[in-house]
Chains A and B, each alone.
Chain A
Amino acid sequence: MLELTNLHKAYGPHQVLRGVHLAVQPGTIHGLIGANGAGKTTLINCLYGLENDFSGTVRDTASGGLVRDTTGLVPYEPYFYPRLTGREYVAFCLQARRRPVPDLRGWNELLELPLDQYATEYSAGMKKKLALLAVLVQDFAYLILDEPFNGLDLEANLLLKEILKRLRDRGTGILLTSHILGTLTEVANEATVLVGGLVQRHYQAAEFGTLEADLLAALHGEKLGQLRTLL
């Protein structure tokens, strides 16, 4: 299990995370929900060890080692070297972790990427799929996916949902952020709502029915009153 306990993180005087607790179980999809600036990406960076100056504990309870040793990350904006093809990018991601480079044809029949073109020339959706491909071929125990549905068209969106469900069924633990609430609640087993760096509430799948109304109240309480006077 990936576990994050009493996490505090600040940038100068600005407190971004304030005592956050979160756990990602193997074989589950955990949704992380929050408005822009709620602290989702900072939480992911702390969990993955990309930020160091935070307080609280972050650990992989099974291995006791670093989270990033057993976890693949697809960041919000994946980085690609200029003048490097998609195939070379995936190969480097594998070689960097001392993993053999497999035949990519099987996965690429699903994702349909022009792997021999420079990755920087890809569209936003193709870039997201390439970053996904690089973690999918590595068989990680956990995946952290920051807005993986961003930029994907309908077909790719449906396919990704199916891939995530199958990974979960095989035992992979997935932490998933998405602004598309419907998509997230369709695949997630549980969700954590982050508001202003604080965990507002943990939800189990059975409680997702109240999620949208709760979020509306939390994020737009005052505006709802105004809306009622207008409509």
Chain B
Amino acid sequence: MALAPSQLAPLVAYLRLRLRLLGRLLREIGWLRLALVGPMLLLGLLQALASLGKYPQGLWAVPLVVAWSLLGAHRRRSDLTFLASAAPGFRPWLAAEYALLALPLALGLMALRAAGPAALTVGLAPLVAWAPAARPGQATQHRWHSPFRSEAFEWVSGMRATKGLLLWPVLVGLATWQRASPLAPVAALLLWLLVVTACYGEPEPLPLLALAVRSPRQFLRRRLALGLGYAAGSALPFWVLLGLGQAGWGAALAVALFWLALLGMVVLTKYAFYPNASHIRSTRGLVLAVGLLGAWHPAYPPLMLVSAAGLVWQSQRRLRAVLTTSPDEK
């Protein structure tokens, strides 16, 4: 049954609102960064799809990854309570929004003649809209204190938000099950990298930063050492699986170093653009796109090296500026 225009009006108003917010966010990010990020992300996505296209079974992972990513973002949306009170019938609007977001990937899958995964991508995404919001209160009921929690605050909140601690054993299990193919641990590492990098998207409050920083260089070294240490511990099973498989220990070591280098750049990105969350996330997208394209194309590693050096310089500069400027001036 067709819907009357008056019934569609709230949905149109909502989608228009989201578009307006997106447009203003993109304007804030700036055309230069967009000109770099956009093509890189697109190329990275096409490259990933083309690589997955060689393994038809692997394409079925796309709808699951898309739904999982949407679910993580949906449960952390800060506007869910507002929408529930201002717009009681808001869930179908979110479903339409998520279907639209998943559509480009579904079209990409269609181009690879994977109609089943494409249909599942568009079919699963809207269902996410009915998931409840994450309840921050639940975590505080079971709080416990330890040096780990205070030092690894990004991991504590990030893993809670992405449900990474549930995903990790699943990824290890799947990679172990499919260990005959080197693609399995590499794909698991890629997914795990996305989870871990999500921990570094939210800038910590300035008072916390001001308390922890003695000098920008010392602070960055510590954050990098701790972040890479935790990440290495969590990624170790994937590297071991890769080393034990056809790829061998040399390839496993190369992948491990490359993986840690990417994560290190993501950690630096957080402080290079502190405290602007949109700039942090867009540059993180750029870093990941450049880094992951580097895995396939020999022209990109030099670009990655230049980016890494730039991030080290910019993060120290930014921290120095933030800590010596009063809040009103920033």
Residues of chain A whose beta carbon lies under 8 Å from any beta carbon of chain B: 11-12, 14, 48-50, 66, 68-69, 73, 75, 78-79, 81-84, 88, 92-93, 95-98, 134
Contact = CB atoms under 8 A, between A and B. Distances in A.
A93 B141 contact: no
A225 B25 CA distance: 58
Interface in B15-53: 17, 20-21, 24-25, 28
A79 B10 contact: no
Contacts of B87: 93, 96-97
A83 B90 CA distance: 21
B43 to A, nearest CB: 28
Contact of B86 (A12, A98, A134): A134
Contacts of A96: 10, 13-14, 83, 86-87, 90
A42 to B, nearest CB: 11
A113 to B, nearest CB: 18
Contacts of B81: 50, 75, 79
A83 B85 CA distance: 20
A64 B83 CA distance: 22
A137 B228 CA distance: 53
Contact of A98 (B9, B21, B28, B141): B9
B137 interface: yes
Interface string B1-19: 0000010011001100100
B239 to A, nearest CB: 39
Nearest to A118: B24
A10 to B, nearest CB: 11
Contacts of B88: 49, 66, 68-69, 97
Contacts of B25: 83
B199 to A, nearest CB: 22
A142 B21 CA distance: 31
B85 A12 contact: no
B21 A73 contact: no
Given A79-B81, A81-B17, A84-B17, A92 B86 contact: yes
B141 A14 contact: yes
Which of A12, A81, A93, A134 has most B Cβ within 10 Å?
A81
Nearest to B79: A79
A78 B85 CA distance: 10
